[in-house]
Structure 1
């Protein structure tokens, strides 16, 4: 354990900033949004595990060669063997972990409350869309479409969208929003919001939030494009851009210009070998800190 914590610390710091900034700037992610999102989840989980694990292993190093040995020593009442600086390291680690969990809980509770209020307003102001079960129509002239995730999820379109968009464009909008709901993209961005609020001022974490937000939009675009094609999707995206689209499932911008460029000049998908490599890299990222801790 004496050598594990420096490796974990270096790994955690690297994933939090330089690796995150590199991945956020990588163009290949637009060719495989699903794989890129899996890799981002692995980066977030592995980075958090490495940083918190570094603190725990550094503090408990005198008690054994791994967390299992250290846990056994703690149960045997050997905590008195730790000197003052190790207690300080352990306390700092516990505070960071508690803050992270606290921020995650606060963000989750606030989001649930906001959605509950939003659903209440929609129940009063919106009307059901007979053509699409579970969808609501908001009487507003601006073309707008968005989703409201949760147990009682909603897809909302404005009257302006119904009068402005053609049938295929409406199908694109619905497929896009339903993809967000079905794949729970609101939960995908939540850990990055928590990390960004816990450790402020780290460029890599800010870049990660923006990149993940753009990728979930691209993933939903891909689902819609499979149903109606890129041309209809592009027209629909232009019509509803600038509205409230995406605001209810992510706090980030929807990267409209980036998405439009991708739809109008779609890059080829990654080769199969590259897609497999991305997923294996995600598994490896999770395996490394886990192995070092055990």
Structure 2
């Protein structure tokens, strides 16, 4: 029960405290990919803690410690007991254990449902948009992008198989050749990094639990950070001044909600970052960030398994000592 309470308490406290802690991280813009990973790891740690709290309350640690077979047998017993209670009114399953498992199951089911809804909904919209582009747009082999005859200055990418970069004639007329190449490199960075999946994960949690501060803040921060990451990738092969100028030119453009666009409301802030870049993280700082991500991801599972591992070691060490030759424990 102690482990279950620890996991539940962490999920509640972290959901409120971590947005403030991670929001105060000063190096996020120097390492946007690592910062986005930290936000997602924090969100995952809260969900996993909440889901594991139920089984940790219902399954005795000794069942885990005596082997996986016994663990699965204990889980099966709980399921059978729950069915017996529902069908025959048997009281084999304690009310507290039933409630804890039900809450964990509902949380997990809600996350899975919203994740599937996000992926399927976005895929449907992208397929329809792709069909529209096939009618209204033309593929430019020199640019490696689809050109749409439209006066508004817009550039975006449409993930899928295959993913494609899209730019309007209005953007082509307002940007230089170097700036067009830079903005298309930005869009290809989104496609190569599969940023649509990253955004779908954070959006699914914000959709599933819109009252949880961590998930709402993480969704907004991850959206901003993937744009910074794409800017950095584009700046590797193009001048930062061209990336910045392209962002200015596309600042007022609005890409479809299911696509990733170079412009948008964060464009002007990103321009300042492009023109006045900060130094990258040192190796030690990056290592500390990676360790933090690892702790956030593995921490809840480690806490949940700790009693079982302790019971396993205690049981087998005791068996080894008792069975050692030459040791007599009798009177």
Q: Is 1:165 matched up with 2:175?
A: yes
Q: Is 1:287 matched up with 2:298?
A: yes
List runs of 5+ in structure 1 lacking aligned partners: none
Q: 1:147 aligns with which of 153, 157, 177?
A: 157
Deviation, 1:246, is 7.2
Partners in 2 of 1:248 and 1:98 — Cα distance?
Answer: 24
Is the 2:58–2:97 Cα contact (8 Å) retained in structure 1?
Answer: yes
Partners in 1 of 2:259 and 2:198 — Cα distance?
Answer: 10
- Residue-by-residue CA offset, 1:149-172 (whole Å, 9 max, x unaligned): 011211000001111111111111
- Residue-by-residue CA offset, 1:264-286 (whole Å, 9 max, x unaligned): 22122121110111011111222
Is the 1:155–1:174 Cα contact (8 Å) retained in structure 2?
Answer: yes
Distance 1:97 1:41, change over 3 A: same
Is the 1:12–1:51 Cα contact (8 Å) retained in structure 2?
Answer: yes
Q: 1:101 aligns with which of 105, 112, 115?
A: 112
Is the 2:157–2:191 Cα contact (8 Å) retained in structure 1?
Answer: yes
Deviation, 1:207, is 1.1
Partners in 2 of 1:250 and 1:60 — Cα distance?
Answer: 44
Which residue of structure 1 aligns with residue 218 of structure 2? 208
Which residue of structure 2 aligns with residue 117 of structure 1? 128
Deviation, 1:222, is 0.2
Deviation, 1:86, is 1.8
Partners in 2 of 1:183 and 1:3 — Cα distance?
Answer: 41
Which residue of structure 2 aligns with residue 156 of structure 1? 166
Partners in 2 of 1:210 and 1:254 — Cα distance?
Answer: 12
Q: Is 1:188 matched up with 2:198?
A: yes
Deviation, 1:19, is 0.7
Equivalent residues in 2 for 1:228-247, closer than 5 Å? 228-245=238-255, 247=257
- Residue-by-residue CA offset, 1:77-131 (whole Å, 9 max, x unaligned): 6746431122122112212211211111111111110000000100001111131
Q: Is 1:19 matched up with 2:21?
A: no
Distance 1:273 1:218, change over 3 A: same
Partners in 1 of 2:264 and 2:95 — Cα distance?
Answer: 46
- Residue-by-residue CA offset, 1:160-207 (whole Å, 9 max, x unaligned): 111111111111101100000001000011121111111122222211
**Normalised TM-score (structure 1):** 0.91
**Normalised TM-score (structure 2):** 0.81
Q: Is 1:199 matched up with 2:209?
A: yes
Which residue of structure 2 aligns with residue 73 of structure 1? 74
Partners in 1 of 2:264 and 2:46 — Cα distance?
Answer: 25
Is the 1:147–1:177 Cα contact (8 Å) retained in structure 2?
Answer: yes
Deviation, 1:243, is 1.0
Deviates most, 34-43 or 241-250: 241-250
Deviation, 1:249, is 3.3
- Residue-by-residue CA offset, 1:57-93 (whole Å, 9 max, x unaligned): 1233487456955433233567464311221221122
Partners in 1 of 2:100 and 2:298 — Cα distance?
Answer: 24
Q: 2:143 aligns with which of 132, 149, 156?
A: 132
Deviates most, 252-261 or 229-238: 252-261
Deviation, 1:291, is 1.3
Partners in 2 of 1:5 and 1:28 — Cα distance?
Answer: 34
Taking only aligned residues, the RMSD between alpha carbons, in angstroms, comes to: 2.3
List runs of 5+ in structure 2 lacking aligned partners: 82-90, 306-331
Q: 1:257 aligns with which of 261, 268, 289?
A: 268
Distance 1:57 1:253, change over 3 A: farther
